[in-house]
Amino acid sequence: MFNPISLIIGWLLDLLLGDPSWLPHPVVAFGKMIRAGESRLNKGKQRKIKGGVLSLVLIGCTWGGTSLLLSVLSHEAKVCLETILIFFCLAGTTLIKEVEKVFDALDISLEKGRRQVARIVGRDTTELSEQEVKKAALETLSENLSDGVIAPLFWLMLLGVPGMMAYKMINTLDSMIGYRTVRYKDFGCVAARIDDAANWLPARLTACLMLMGALFLSTSFPLSRTSLAGRFRQMCYFSHAHLSPNSGWPEAALACLLGCRFGGGHSYHGEWIEKPYIGEHERPLHRDDMKAAVRLNRLTEAMMLVAVMAVTMTGMLYAKC
């Protein structure tokens, strides 16, 4: 269990501050540990085993270390630490700001837009067109809604703050070594599979919440209940048109709601990775599409927050009885 006050304050801090560059962040420490382990172990034979051991050790240490630290603190100190860790684990505001900066940079020049979007995507952006830059930004925005907001809250609800921190380590491992390139396809295989498992339910929950949220944003998404059912069927169909078993769900939800098309092949770390398209309509993307996606992200985040609070409060009342 965790203190609901910690969740409210942590969420408000993320809403107001995002991830200030001057503030030390646990994910930076996670990245350094992963990088150090990868540089020592990703060589020679048995790379899959070595990568799997590294992943499991780092995830276990994150879970155990967080649990141990919280167990020895006083009630007041525990609430403060929970608040800080929840704040660090939520990444909704930061990605929204970064995506808005991409569209602002494109208003200046394509080159600035490419450089800006390179901050939030793993693909090579040097040859992207203006529409491809916008597409990459919105794809990342929808995917991050699951990875950076809904999934952390989901694991917080199930396993408390230690579970939330362990998920953050899982997600960081996947973002650093979970690629299908020559360098990482063996070493990062276990990390990628663990990330797939950890995101299986949250990704689908994210997509369904997005569709529900669109009903409340009639100015951005003029949908009737009948047309929403059609979008749901489209989403389920295109969700499988992705190399990841999970990323396709929030991307397909946004593509179907905006009536656009995501996906296609891209270059990652110097290697071309072919990807199918998600969505039916290839159309130009505009700033209004970005604004609609941002509003949808915020509403989906709020809906998940309410759900987590409701489940947590119900569990606390049940425990008292």
Range(s) of the domain holding residue 211: 4-319
Please give the DSSP secondary-structure letter assigned to residue 247.
T
DSSP state string for 175-239? HHH---STTTTTTTHHHHHHHHHHHHHHHHHHHHHHHHHHTT-TTTS---HHHHHHHHHHHHHHT
List, for residues 263-288, the tens digit of each pLDDT value: 776 666 566 666 788 988 889 999 99
Closest CA to 149 of 303, 301, 17, 302: 301
pTM (whole model) above 0.85: yes
pLDDT of residue 23: 80
pLDDT of residue 215: 87
What residue ranges of the chain have pLDDT lower than 70? Answer: 222-226, 265-274
pLDDT of residue 272: 61
pLDDT of residue 268: 60
Asked if 10 contacts 93 with a C-beta cutoff of 8 angstroms, the reply is no
pLDDT of residue 228: 78
As for how many domains the chain has, the answer is: 1
pLDDT of residue 198: 97
